[in-house]
Structures are given as structure tokens and as C-alpha cells.
Structure 1
Amino acid sequence: MRVLGVDPGLTRCGIGVVDGVAGRRLSMGAVGVIRTPAEAETAERLVLVERGMEEWLDTHRPEAVAVERVFSQHNVRTVMGTAQASAVAMLCAARRGLPVALHTPSEVKAAITGSGRADKAQVATMVTRLLRLDAPPKPADAADALALAICHLWRGPSQNRLQQAVAAQRLKGTTR
């Protein structure tokens, strides 16, 4: 399976492609960052993120997209930009009928390092080891995007089964 991981941001949107399945060797397809100029208007920056996402989707043809779930930060302006970039990534994937999964930062850290409290350096080190890279991807947003893709490859199938079971239970409850 090929997963596109997205670490959303308005200035730097980390993006990475990982191929593999749970329990097997993983390989990096590509990694990078979609950048927008800080001095540009928000609407223009979102168009640039959208164009970058579309280019990555066209080039790498993922089967799923994993996006970091936006969590509340102290800086409302930063969280708004992150949420807007996240929405653009989800919209681009949804337009193509691709499944979109949201993963929390602590969930990704726990999947990659074994600890939900790992720092960025620990995540980058494990991404480097898991994908057998010569050096950690830079900037950290790029490494985080790869970590999201890996997390989804490892946790996505079990989450899908859980969601299907919950949906089946709800359906049973409404047909009685």
C-alpha cells in the first residue's frame, strides 16, 4: 500500500510517501515540503498548498492519505493556519475518492518510537531507521510526514476494522 503522509502547515507543509504493509519492510517513495511565503495573503497561500498537494497526488498516486489531526495550541493564529492547510489536504484527497485518516501527534509518536511523548529528534531517528535512510529527512516537517504515513500503514488496518465493527453495531441497533 502507498500512503501519503501530510504534516499540515501554512508556511511549511511536510509531505511524504511510504510504501509497505504492516509487518513487512517499508520504503520511502518521496519526501518534501510544500512552502508558502509568509508575506502572502492566507487565501493565496492556501491555493499554493492545494497546487502542491495536487502535484504530489498526481505524481505519487497514493492509495490513502494520512493527515496529522490538528490539536489546540496556545497560538490561535498558528492553529488556524495548520487547520486550514489540513482541510486543503483532506479536500484534495476526498476529490479523488482517497480514504483520509487523521492521526494525533501522540498516536504517531507512540507508533514510531513506542512513546507518545517522544521529541522530534527521536521521531526523526526512528523514521531514518525504519526506512533505512542515510540521514534524517529535513526539515522536521518532512520527517513528521513520513512518520504519519508509517503510523497509518501500521495502525490503519486495525482502525478500519474497529470503525466497521462500530458501524455494524449501530446498524444492528437501528434494525431491531
Structure 2
Amino acid sequence: MKILGIDPGLRTTGFGVIHKQGNKLGYIASGTIKTADVDLPQRLKTILSGVSEIIRTYSPDCAAIEKVFVNVNPQSTLLLGQARGAAICALVGADLVVAEYTALQIKQAVAGHGRAQKQQVQDMVQRMLQLPGMPGPDAADALGVAICHAHSGDALSTLGGLAPELARKGLRMRRGRLVG
């Protein structure tokens, strides 16, 4: 399975493509989509076309993207959300299933704790994928998103597979608890 990870940004959007075979992860590609210092619609167009080109080049089976966190500056959060939206449009336009993860979930999956620094994430991504060199921060974050999905996808598939069996037994989840 090929997984495309996206770390959205208005100036720089990171991408990372990995493959998963059993429990083994492998590196395929990573990099960044950089936007020129132009108006917002042109930047969003660059992100949309850049992500679309990555999809055409690497043919991923699924995608994952980092969720936007609420920034101190609401305007920055809004702009980041628009960049994220452009990337998501390219992903769903290519009929990819898109998973979303918070920065905390990604850091937990890659570095083992949610308060990891950028350098720690870069180091762990390099080690986990056995890269010969250190990926740039945006590419490392995107690879981290893909790694998080590779690990989380198994758990979500298992839980999804249990739901029909629980329903047949007349059980369901309510407020995080199993009820009959």
C-alpha cells in the first residue's frame, strides 16, 4: 500500500510518499510544494496543482493530512485552513480516501510522545525509513503524517471490522462505552 502524507502550508506544503508491506515501511519520495509571493488564489492554485501532480506521479492508494491547529493569530489559522482545503480538494478529486491527524497524534506515532520537537520528528523519520540523509522539516512532517496513518490505519481497520459483529449482537458504542 502506498500512502501519501501532506503537511499543509500556505508558503510551503510538505509531501511524503511511503509504502507499507505488512509491518514494514519504506520510503518512496518526499519534498515540498513552494508557492510564490503572490495573491492567495494563485497560491491555492499552486498547492492544488502541485498535489495533483504528486498523485499522478506516485499513484498513492490513500492519503493523510495534518489537521489545522488553532493559532494565536486567527488570520493565520484561516489562511492555513485554506491551504489545507486546496490540498484536500486535490486528494478527493483523485478519489483518494483521506485521513486526518492532529500534530499531537503524528508526534505520538513517530516520536513516541506528543510534545516532540521538530528535530526529534526529523530524526525519527530518518531512522524509521532508513534514509541516508535528514529530510527537510516540511518533508519530514509529511512523512510523519504518512507513518502515523500507516500505524493508525491497522487499528481503524480492526475496529471497523468489529462494528458489524457487535451490531449483530445488539451492542453499540455510546459516549465511548459499549452498551447493549
TM-score, length-scaled by structure 1: 0.88
SS in 1 for 2:107: helix
Counterpart of 2:99 (choices 82, 98, 101) is 101
How far the C-alpha of 1:135 sits from its partner, in A, is 1.7
SS in 1 for 2:13: strand
Distance 2:3 2:134 in 1: 19
Between stretches 159-168 and 109-118, larger displacement belongs to 159-168
Structure 1 match to 2:176:
none
Instruction: Indicate the structure (1 or 2) with the bigger Cα radius of gyration.
Output: 2
Structure 1 match to 2:138:
141
How far the C-alpha of 1:170 sits from its partner, in A, is 8.2
For 2:141, the aligned partner's letter is D
Structure 1 residues 74-153: aligned runs within 5 Å:
74-138=72-136, 140-153=137-150
SS in 2 for 1:135: coil
For 1:146, the aligned partner's letter is L
How far the C-alpha of 1:8 sits from its partner, in A, is 0.2
For 2:42, the aligned partner's letter is E
Counterpart of 2:48 (choices 34, 47, 50) is 50
| Gaps in structure 2 of 5+ consecutive residues | 173-180
How far the C-alpha of 1:21 sits from its partner, in A, is 3.8
Structure 1 residues 13-92: aligned runs within 5 Å:
13-21=13-21, 23-24=23-24, 26-38=25-37, 40-92=38-90
For 1:154, the aligned partner's letter is H
SS in 2 for 1:20: strand
How far the C-alpha of 1:159 sits from its partner, in A, is 2.1
Structure possessing the higher relative contact order (Cα contacts under 8 Å, 6 or more residues apart): 1
Alignment size in residue pairs: 170
Q: Identity across aligned pairs (percent)?
A: 35
Structure 2 match to 1:155:
152
| 1:22/1:153 contact within 8 Å kept | no
TM-score, length-scaled by structure 2: 0.87
Higher strand share: 2
| 2:55/2:94 contact within 8 Å kept | no
Cα displacement string for residues 43-83 of structure 1 (whole angstroms, at most 9, x for unaligned residues) = 11000111101100000000011100111011222212221
Distance 2:165 2:87 in 1: 29
| Gaps in structure 1 of 5+ consecutive residues | none
SS in 2 for 1:82: helix
SS in 1 for 2:10: coil
